[in-house]
Amino acid sequence: MSAAAGARTVRTGDKRDRILRAAVKVFARKGFYASRVNEIASAAGVADGTIYLYFKSKDEILTSLFEDRITRLLGLLREECARGEGAPDRVRRLVEFQLGLLEGERDLAEVITVNLRQSSRLLKQYANRRFTEYLDLMASVIAEGQRTGELRDDVSPRIVARALFGGLDGIAMTWALGNGESGGLRRAASQFADVLLDGLRVPVKTG
């Protein structure tokens, strides 16, 4: 009842989006495999059958959730990058913006860092394409900084992008599985960006 009442306050009235947001809560609480479609329906305040008007299966709810959230994330990250001036500023924005998005969204953080990996098949066959797009965006910022001489060029932009993704993922996962303390992510983001950017600086010639 309260979930349905909460959902009714959403102005868009978009049932598909309501179902996806309910799925985030249910997946985070029970895990992907233990979650049942009727629990998602109940949390979204819709009839069980309604789910099947939008999604073929629970698998499709998870892939749609991923597709939806990562498409939105990619759009926001591109805007955030465009606001930056120079590669170091863009890298810092990428780090702080992503961890900032998750602050206050502990359920979503858990779904992205834990539940999404619950289906190796999905991850391999489907998510890989979008995930590559995400890594490409981060690698392109690093590569740009190497071309302009702002960042060291003796490391592979793709390896840095993977480590950058991993660092964000590791920080978000331990935060989501831990106490999810308020302010924790912001502090971590800033320190992670400090270490990463100092590590990516062009080495100063001494002697």
Note the residues at the interface with a copy of itself (CB under 8 A): 28, 31, 33-34, 110, 113-115, 117-121, 123-124, 128, 135, 152, 154-156, 159-160, 162-171, 173-174, 177, 187-188, 191-192, 194-201, 203-204
Structure tokens at 174: 């331990």
Closest to a copy of itself by CB, 17 vs 136, is 136
Locate tokens 């690093």: which residue? 142
Handedness of CA 40, 16, 18, 135 (dihedral sign): positive
C-beta of 123 vs 137, nearer to a copy of itself:
123
User: Of the two residues 7 and 102, which places its CB atom closer to a copy of itself in the complex?
Assistant: 102
* Shortest reach from residue 69's CB to a copy of itself, in Å: 17
Q: How far is the CB of 54 from a copy of itself (least distance, A)?
A: 24
Neighbours of 91 (CB within 10 A): 24
State in angstroms the smallest separation of the CB of 174 from a copy of itself: 5
Cβ-Cβ contacts under 8 Å for 30 (sequence gap 6 or more): 39
Could you tell me the smallest distance in angstroms from the CB atom of residue 168 to a copy of itself? 7
b/e sequence 6-21, b meaning 16+ C-beta within 10 Å: ebeeeeeeebbebbbb
Query: Which stretches does DSSP call E strand in 129-169?
Result: none
